[in-house]
Amino acid sequence: MTATEQPVAASSLNRRILLGTVAGLVLGWLLMLAGPDSAITQKSLYACGLVSGIFIDLLKMVLAPLVFSSIALGVANLRAHRRMGRVWKLTLGFMATTTTIATITGLLAANFFHPGEGLHLSLFQDSISKFEVTSLTPGEFFAKLAHGIFVNPVAALAQPNILAVVVFALFVGIAVVQAGERYPTILKLLEELFALCMHIVGWIMQLAPFGIMALLAKLVAVDSLAVLDSLLFFAAVIIGTTLLHGAVTLPTLLWLLTRLSPLQFWRGARPALLTAFATSSSNATIPVTLRCLETDLKVKPEISGFVVPLGATVNMDGTALYEAAAALFVASLAGISLSLDQQVVVCLMAMLASIGAPGIPSAGMVTMVMVLQSVGLPAEAVAILIPIDRVLDTVRTAVNVEGDLITSLVVDKWAGKDA
């Protein structure tokens, strides 16, 4: 598929997902009117369970290899920049800091506003029947965490133990970086495995409208429309929290580290932020972002040329914030209260998922499954989030791109002479 065909395909898929969402809501409402004892309701719910189950199982099937290849490849691609010294160290350090802040902000917002609280959806009862909330001391938590992540990678891929898969992927990527040019075949293999996984994800996403329609129909028929009010409240919490991070946290860090006025930054960055909001794609916004940095904000081309393409892949503040809060929202819908140690795992996985997620909607869905499964939450909840995802994606993509812009300015200020 060519670059010009990709936006068209994504737009077509978005339209079909929207139609599937509307159809699912209407079908669920009709089944609710027919009553749970109706023969047509029972048969329809069975068919919906079958279709939605296949869709979720397909996502689970591709999850482990996609997570491994995307994260390992993302780290390994730093190999080309290993000689830039202070530039890439400052870049990665600042990106990690802002992503951590965004993730913690998302968790705090979810804990404060409690979206989804009180709605114990029966739809998830089978998925959470074996879920256990344990209370551990800090020492016990870190011991359990270490024991769970340093395991046989083949076993981790087979189970799948997503946290262990992520750790092994990080080891592989770091080893490729340190080895320099010694493992070109491994790097090529990672690139081809990732491309292959994304090709399969493309197939699976063709079923997304049907899977979402089936799951929403079952949700409305079984659990009523009350969940939609909770979903809208969750969307409002995410938009508000993401805007807080983008309008307050990031500009404050920029001013503290560079003394650049936020108003001056907004004037120079406006075209890139508007483009990101309109396209919901960090990758598609790269040319505009580079122009804003080099022409309006006077960042050195060698700095922006390194930070922006890297940031479009690994610097996803808005995505990390959303996925962390979404995990707690799903836990509330399932009637689960996550312990502090489980929220720490959610925080780590949201950060890593944002690093490994390519700039396309389908991959974001898979990495959301990754975050949910890291603490045993039902993967079926992904389809519930899809109806609001397109709206939320516009805001979080703008904040993602803003993070790239601010990182470039900070690195240019503190490491520009070393570039």
DSSP per-residue codes, 69-116:
HHHHHHHHGGGGGGGGTHHHHHHHHHHHHHHHHHHHHHHHHHHHH-TT
What is the structure's pLDDT at 132? 52
Q: How far is C-alpha 106 from the chain's CA centre?
A: 12
Taking only the tens place, the pLDDT of each residue in 312-343 is 877 889 989 998 999 899 888 877 888 887 88
What is the structure's pLDDT at 11? 58
Which residue matches tokens 């592989």?
Answer: 172
Q: Which residues of the chain have pLDDT under 70?
A: 1-11, 14, 78-85, 118-145, 223-226, 355-366, 383, 416-419
Percentages of the chain per state (helix, strand, coil), in multiples of 5? 85, 0, 15
Taking only the tens place, the pLDDT of each residue in 333-381 is 877 888 887 888 888 888 877 765 555 544 566 677 778 877 777 777 7
**pTM summary value:** 0.76
Average pLDDT over the chain, rounded to an integer: 81
What is the structure's pLDDT at 7? 47
> CA dihedral in degrees (362, 365, 371, 374; nearest 10)?
-90
> CA dihedral in degrees (229, 209, 19, 237; nearest 10)?
30
Which residue matches tokens 């978005």?
Answer: 14
What is the structure's pLDDT at 102? 95
What is the structure's pLDDT at 342? 81
Amino acid at 327: A
Fold of 5-418: Proton glutamate symport protein (1.10.3860)
